[in-house]
Structure 1
Amino acid sequence: MIKRYILWTYCLFYVFLLVIGGALIVFKSQAAVAILIVLSSWTSTFVFVIMFRKIYPQKNLWDFVKSQFSERIKISTILCVFLIQVLVLIGSIIITRTIWNVPISEQVTASWTTILILFGYNLIHGPLGEELGWRGFVLVELQKKFSPLKSAIIVGVAWGFWHAPLWLMSGYSGLQLVQYIICFLGGIIAVSIIITVFYNLNRNLLIPIMIHHLFNYFLAIQAGDVLHILTVTAIFYLMVALVMVLVNYKRCLYGSSDVGLDGILY
């Protein structure tokens, strides 16, 4: 069922991309295209809703969705997630200043209006529309068969290649395109591991949404060369993920039995 879900999520996303391309040619309306782009990021949720009765025949969809947000969120989890990602942002800015000599004042979008708009746009364009399917369903089900770490990597790879058409639309070619793909995929797998850690420690879907949102948002508000920003950010996230793998706090990624959630000590 997981393979079928991923296949249909890919297919629906690609259909949306074709529709977006057609809308650009026929309507030439930026507003219509923006709406379609947002809807395309919700394909994993659309497919999950459509397939829900086959995935969980004994459950009610609305009750399932509510259960994903029912566990009380620990303030310590939120603070830790926020601090880690802010430090990654600061590190990225410092490295960019040091290596490419870009003034800090020129590295972040100056307009407060733009910053606020990007905050809202990046929340509905991805995090709110993707996590119910990728984490609420795929990650949870994979952890019934595999360790959380292996499950996180599988989800990260599937989630990363789901974005594959966007790589070809990035405008890069040759070695730059290769660098873009490697950094994009590496960053997304690292984020998948980080999400798995905190989601297993605090089983509330708001945690993956928050991590995903801050990842996208902090990339969006940084001005300058996208490839440089993505490369540095991906390296920092990979470093954070590596530390989490090595520490394996409360066995949230793997245990002696290596059997997913059974190895997690709460």
Structure 2
Amino acid sequence: MGTVGAPILPIGPLLAALLLLSLLGGRPAVRELLGRILLWRVGWRWYAVVLGLPVLITLAATGLNLALGARPVPDIEMPDAAGLAARFLFILLWIGLGEETGWRGFALPRLLAGHRALSAALLLGLIHMVWHLPLYGVEYNATNVLPWGISVFCFSVVTCWIYLHTGGSVLMPMLMHASNNTAAVVWRLFEGGDQTRLWWIWCALWVGAALAVVAAGGADLRRARG
């Protein structure tokens, strides 16, 4: 989910996108990307989705984990509202801007040019997973890498759906990424098997979200409502 000391550079995709666009399309291509980063007039409902869905899924997973017998780590310190706000802002500007500019800003439009939206989203999920391979042994291991990997594909499908319905806004995926990683602070509440169960519950809920998007939008993720 991304930490300050992780062995990857979150702004790497941003730098790569800017370099490639400079070579391929010059200043107009770079300006077009920057314009989509600043594309914020998408309707309040999409803000509710990108900010609320990751939090809802994480809190629901936490509640189900507790209901199934998980016990929080004693005396665990959790950030207050100010701490969460600071965490959100940092993730938005470091990981959200750094990664989503490359994933949804540069790569996704090019994948969509040759694939249906669902296929493009799954391919981008694979790229996302490969990019995060250096985190194996740091944030992911044999106990959680499978639910994490499945959730990456599901996150990619849901985020592609949002991208398509907000005119190609890169800001919306940035906000969703930041919301998701900020909510991940709840992982501190659990250890061992309780934390592994949380991963699987969380993964299952993301699978449900992705299936709902596909059911509503079809393979192009934007089926017109009848």
Q: Would the TM-score normalized by the shorter structure come out above 0.5?
A: yes
Gaps of 5+ in 1: 1-32, 256-262
Residue identity opposite 2:51 in structure 1: F
The SS at the match of 1:169 is coil
Aligned counterparts, 1:8-19, within 5 A: none
Judged with a 3 Å threshold, the aligned counterparts in structure 2 of structure 1 residues 220 and 121 are, in CA distance, closer, same or farther, namely farther
**Aligned match of 1:218 in 176, 183, 204?**
183
Distance 1:187 1:107 in 2: 26
Higher relative contact order (CA 8 A, sep 6+): 2
Shift of 1:157: 0.8
Residue identity opposite 1:210 in structure 2: L
Check if 1:117 corresponds to 2:82.
no
Judged with a 3 Å threshold, the aligned counterparts in structure 2 of structure 1 residues 107 and 214 are, in CA distance, closer, same or farther, namely farther
The residue number in structure 2 matching 1:11 is: none
Aligned counterparts, 1:23-172, within 5 A: 34=4, 40-57=9-26, 59-70=28-39, 72-102=41-71, 109=78, 111-170=80-139, 172=141
Aligned residues: 218
Shift of 1:150: 0.3
Shift of 1:72: 2.1
- 1:72-124 Cα deviation digits (max 9, x unpaired): 21111112333432321221121111123326998882544532332233223
The residue number in structure 1 matching 2:162 is: 198
Larger Rg: 1
Shift of 1:148: 0.5
Question: Displaced runs of 4+ in structure 1, greater than 4 A?
Answer: 36-39, 103-108, 263-266
Gaps of 5+ in 2: none
Shift of 1:71: 6.1
- 1:166-211 Cα deviation digits (max 9, x unpaired): 0132374xxxx1x422111111111100100111001211111111
Residue identity opposite 2:162 in structure 1: F
The percent of aligned pairs where both chains have the same amino acid is 16
Judged with a 3 Å threshold, the aligned counterparts in structure 2 of structure 1 residues 145 and 206 are, in CA distance, closer, same or farther, namely same
Shift of 1:57: 4.5
Whether the 8 Å contact between 2:36 and 2:105 is mirrored in structure 1 is no
The SS at the match of 1:59 is helix
TM-score (structure 2 length as normaliser)? 0.82
Distance 1:198 1:247 in 2: 12
Judged with a 3 Å threshold, the aligned counterparts in structure 2 of structure 1 residues 154 and 39 are, in CA distance, closer, same or farther, namely closer
